[in-house]
Chains A and B, each alone.
Chain A
Amino acid sequence: MTDHARNYVVGLLLLTLSVVWTWLVIVTIPAGFGDGDIGPRAFPLMFGLCLGFLSVILLLKSLMNRQKVETARSLATEDQLIIHWLPSALLLIELLGYGYLLKTVGFVISTPILVVFVMFINLRVRSVKMFLGMSIGITLVCWLVFEKVLGIYLANGWLINIG
């Protein structure tokens, strides 16, 4: 994908976001009462409109600049524009799952599960020693340092409560 095509897609997505945002702001947030009270709606509405305006400019620019200045830049940096969809999606799922596990089974159980899962799926590690060392090591050190030494609360699960 060339730079102008990418800008075109980004511009379209941002324009959609601004339209949805602005509509939601108008529908869900009450306006101010006047006489100095500009209300909670004014700023989100203004930001939504600004985003719409900027995305229209981005769209127009990408349509006008098809083969001009951007080509030189995009050619030089094409290799850096790869999006790693799978690791991004995996990480998102892992963090959402970790958040859920934290409140369910607590820090002491959910952290080794996360570490083992990440090492097995993302890093493709197959060494049992590494699994044990990393999962128990990270959990134990974090639990000792944060919970016991620094007195910072680490989650206790409502289902299982350890630590």
Chain B
Amino acid sequence: MELFLNAFALAFTPMSIAAIGLGALVGLIFGSIPGLTFTVALALALPISFNLDAVPAIGLLLGTYIGGMTGGSVSAILLGIPGTPSAAATVLDGYPMTKRGDASIALGTAVIVSVFGGLFSLAIMIVSVDLVSKVAIGFGPAEIFALVLFGFSTICGLCGNSLIKGLVAGVLGLMVMTIGLDAIEGVPRMTFGSVNMMQGVNLLVALIGLFAVPFIIEAFSEDRTKSGRMKKMVSVRPELPPFGLLFRNIWLMIRSSLIGTGIGAIPGTGGAIASFLAYDNAKRFSRKPETFGKGNIEGVIAPEAANNAVTGGTLIPLLSLGIPGDPATAIVLAGMMIHGLVPGPALFMNHATEVYGIYIAVIIAYVWVLGLQLLGIRVFVHVLRVPREILAVIVLVLCAIGAYSIRNSEFDIYAMAIIGVAAYLLVAVRIPITPIILGMVLGPNLENEFRTAMMLSEGKLDIFYTSPTVIIFLSLAALVIIFQSLSELKMKRKEKQKVNFSDA
């Protein structure tokens, strides 16, 4: 009890609250601008944390991380361009809601379920840090490969009308991500001798291209000769989601948060995989799966709860074993070590007060995020009052800055342009975009983990069928594919019957 009181005293100093708030605000800004990742925000925040005490310093970093993760949904919902890869799944239903005039409900729901997901995962982390870290650390390359393959099987549910076209899209995404230096042996692949091509296609650059460029082309293609002047994006109703809506979806929020926490606890996975798995899970168990992709609020709740639950999940291996799950948590780890908090079992014995202080800092960060976002919704939705064409010009410049600033390379602007125009053409010929993103997100992990597993087993495939975890994930993947194929066959049969009936 005394430890908790001391931790409260550490976390509730004005400096600590202000540092966490500053982190949350900066994270929100960076997260909501496509191309500016919260990892960049964390890198900028790290030097500021040197002059602070341990809890405010880690609070600043965690606030930035949490704010960034939540902020990705703002541009995903308002513009259909995900601010972070973790928010890519939120676009699928968030943006259709904006087009319908429900932007503020989508934004409000996203922030509330994000806070729920984050706090839920924190609670799970506190209760089960030992157990979960033991299970998660048992995940070797073979297990992560099987998990990624399971994640990839969700492509079947995101294919739209044609399974073949969805699979084509998935393979295209996988192919794009093999361009550049091979991560394991450093061999250049499809680079044609170009130094710029060696760095490969950055995932964020590809995401900006996939989502922003088609939006800009559509806006520039509008016929203004009829109306004679520019139109607003959509009409906006600034209202918050009703409590009943959230209460009805509480089970979905819990399920998605569990998925996010579990995925977050496995190093090398991340928010994008969690949000797509949660989205697929929500669609599969929804009463109205046919409304997904058309503005179903469940399609916002699931990915947002899951990607924020990842924040708590990643803290499990970070605090208990000192293993960062992604580049962002690696910076948090650096911040902790600079302040003398060396992660591992000894951390909980030697610095228990600081650890509890960090837990409280996470709660404060979520309170800040909730407050800032709920207050900000009224401001954010004004973006939609700007004429669509003018907004497209601003988005064009912001996306170019975002793409450039990732690696300070104009090559990324070229890549964004080419991928974006290709995406526009693919959409026009009815090839869905979502499986391309899934291919891009999962492709590098799929290849690297498989190759590492094969190296470890010296070429023997038994590494994939002797581990129960691998067998479970592979079976789940097979089940998803079988069910999806059966449901597609059923749908085709129904359509055939309809055609025959109308012919008769």
Contacts and interface: CB of A to CB of B under 8 A. Distances in A.
* Chain B associates with chain A: yes
Interface in A36-80: 36-40, 42-44, 47-48, 50-51, 54-55, 57-58, 61, 68-69, 72-73
B113 to A, nearest CB: 28
Interface stretch (B170-178, B245-253, B309-317, B364-372): B170-178
A50 B446 CA distance: 15
Nearest to B29: A150
Contacts of B30: 150
Contacts of B447: 43
B240 interface: no
A29 B189 contact: yes
A21 B398 CA distance: 33
Contact of B496 (A69, A95, A102, A119): A69
A142 B398 contact: yes
B443 to A, nearest CB: 8
B410 interface: yes
A43 B185 CA distance: 13
Interface string B395-417: 01110110011001011011011
A36 to B, nearest CB: 4
Q: Is the contact region of chain B dominated by helix, strand, or loop, or is it mixed?
A: helix
A81 B36 CA distance: 33
A72 B495 contact: yes
A77 to B, nearest CB: 8
Contact of B396 (A3, A89, A107, A118): A118
Interface in B411-431: 411, 413-414, 416-418, 420-421, 424-425, 428-431
A153 B495 CA distance: 55
B455 interface: yes
Interface in A89-118: 89-92, 95-96, 98-100, 102-103, 107, 111, 114-115, 118
Contact of B413 (A10, A34, A98): A98
Contacts of A39: 185
Interface in B447-504: 447, 450-451, 454-460, 492, 495-496, 498-499
Nearest to B387: A123
B429 A47 contact: no
Contacts of B44: 150-151
User: Chain B contact residues (Cβ within 8 angstroms of A): what range?
Assistant: 35 or more
Interface stretch (B4-12, B212-220, B284-292, B339-347): B212-220
Most chain B CB within 10 A, of A82, A95, A98, A111, is at A95
Given A37-B455, A69-B496, A58 B429 contact: no
Contact of B393 (A43, A82, A92, A138): A138
A43 B178 contact: yes
B167 interface: yes
Contacts of A151: 44
B124 interface: no
Contacts of A154: 401, 404-405
B194 interface: no
Most chain A CB within 10 A, of B30, B44, B404, is at B404
A1 to B, nearest CB: 10
A83 B404 contact: no
B184 interface: yes
Contacts of A138: 393-394, 397
Interface string B153-178: 00000000100110110011011001
Given A91-B217, A111-B397, A119-B393, 7 more contacts: A37-B455, A40-B184, A51-B171, A83-B428, A99-B413, A150-B30, A155-B408
Interface of B: 29-30, 36, 40, 44, 161, 164-165, 167-168, 171-172, 174-175, 178, 182, 184-185, 187, 189-190, 213, 216-218, 220-221, 224, 389-390, 393-394, 396-398, 400-401, 404-405, 408, 410-411, 413-414, 416-418, 420-421, 424-425, 428-431, 446-447, 450-451, 454-460, 492, 495-496, 498-499
20 contacts: A9-B429, A10-B431, A40-B182, A43-B451, A51-B168, A51-B172, A54-B164, A54-B167, A54-B171, A72-B499, A81-B430, A91-B396, A95-B416, A103-B410, A118-B393, A123-B393, A150-B29, A151-B44, A152-B36, A155-B408
